[in-house]
Amino acid sequence: MYLGIDLGTSGVKAILMDEDQRILAEGSSRPLSVDRPHRGWSEQHPEIWWDAVCEALDHLAHRHPREMAAVRGIGLSGQMYGATLLDDADRPIRPAILWNDTRSTAECRQLEEREPDLRAIAGRRATPGVTAPKLIWVQRHEPENFARIRTVLLPKDYIRLKLTGEKVSDMADSSGTLWMDVTRRAWSDRLLAATDLDRSQMPRLVEGTEPSGLLTPGLADRWGMVNRPAVAGGGGDNACGACGSGIIEPGAGTVSLGTSGVLFVATNEARPSRDHAIETLCHAVPGIWHQMSVILSATSCLNWLAGLLGRPAAELVRDLGDTPRPAGSLLFLPFLDGCWSPQDDAEIRGAFVGLDHGTDARALTHAVLQGVAFALTDAAHGFHDNGARFERLLGIGGGSRSPLWMSMVANALDCVIDIPEASELGAAFGAARLGMIAATNAPPRDVLRRPKIARTIEPDPALAGSYRDAFAQWRGLYAPVRNASMALHGHA
């Protein structure tokens, strides 16, 4: 048996997978809360992560003792970028600053001034979501906490420390910190020095498929495991999700419609993105990299509209039917949490443009779905500018269950979308697969297989013109909506 653990922002999910990659059991924690003491802040205390992991695994051990006893390998996945600061006793110094925290905009500019070659080394621009600028913020605003830092870990690596006693991270997750030379797959002394840190404060690096340590004897006993399982390097949630979907060959990619929207394409080399806020990261598989663009609000926009209208989100989508249709004239900018990529913009907020007396729930829903598709299209243009090419993508996430939404994405991207048969291709599954590789030394490509495809959605040439024109109008709204957003928040 192999165990996959995914530490999300809103909770922990764990799955048990057998040697035939069948998921036999799942466990989860109660929802995790996020603290937002100021506008743009987002924090969690690391101890609630560990409590949630224990809750999920205790549940599995109670309900499935035979399967837990047979666990040989454990894989870890988790929310990326969170700055988890530990003192010399490995205790958290302060709550972790999370991936969707935007307080460090000024520190991003300072970081790029300190190290002019940052984009070439780290593979991307400095943006508030990633880890390194957060440390400059702590140094500036909480110098007493900065002085106490002995180790900086990413969220899932704090869980690894609790599981194994080892301070280790994988290259995929760590390449998002802005402290790694992404091409060399190693820590960069220059980038660390730009935040007044050094290698002694960083964890040891391994590939996502490699063992990083063994589960401690006490925890193996707690969960009834006969042997001490190997804990794989694992990866951030998006890299693990790609492992769950078998997206490990150059040119293969996914478009994910979950709470956030993600465009993910594997590459055979590091391709630094200098002009767009597109991430170039190591993959969880040795010798492979990937590019990634994250739209902060995807299905969360639909859920917001559903709450506003007092109707279930699924019902709103169902009312539109499944038949592909031309792009609509009511436009929606889905930046309810700001824009992370391909623009790094913490100030812009969402907007409807084109409302009239005839606008009803169906029109609003269509505009929301279309707006998310256009945000992904904007990201795709950034990929193309950086040399990435893709002709088909795997559609995953909850939004992929809507044929209409997927047709919008296919038409907007001018790209074939394959929808897999299996519903469970997420980060916990990918983590379990990495745990299997670490425990058995199996070749990654033998384990990380592509799923069977249930249906394929192709762009419709008859609709191409309407999507192209509507996207151009949508893109033209970005600057005025941003200006209005800043004015409304007193930043004009």
Instruction: Kindly list the catalytic residues.
Output: 237
Nearest to 407 by CA among 477, 456, 355, 476: 456
Rounded-to-integer distance, Cα 412 and Cα 327, Å: 9
Read off φ and ψ for residue 279, nearest 5 degrees.
-90, 135
Say whether 5 sits in a helix, a strand or coil: strand
Six-digit token pair at 425?
Answer: 């291709």
Question: Of 287, 263, 141, whose CA–CA distance to 208 is shortest?
Answer: 287
Cα 435 vs. chain centroid, distance in angstroms? 20
**Which residues, 6 or more positions from 303, have their beta carbon under 8 angstroms from its beta carbon?**
313
Contacts of 418 by beta carbon, 8 Å cutoff, 6+ apart: 392, 393, 394, 395, 453, 455, 456, 457
**Are β-strands 2-7 and 12-17 bridged in parallel, bridged antiparallel, or unpaired?**
antiparallel
CA angle, corner 287, sides to 281 and 288, nearest 5?
45
Residue 293's contacts (CB-CB under 8 Å, 6 or more residues apart) are 262, 263, 277, 278, 279, 341, 342, 376, 379, 380, 382, 383
What torsion, rounded to 10 degrees, do the Cα atoms 342, 348, 350, 352 define?
-100
Is the separation of the CB atoms in 15 and 57 below 8 Å?
no
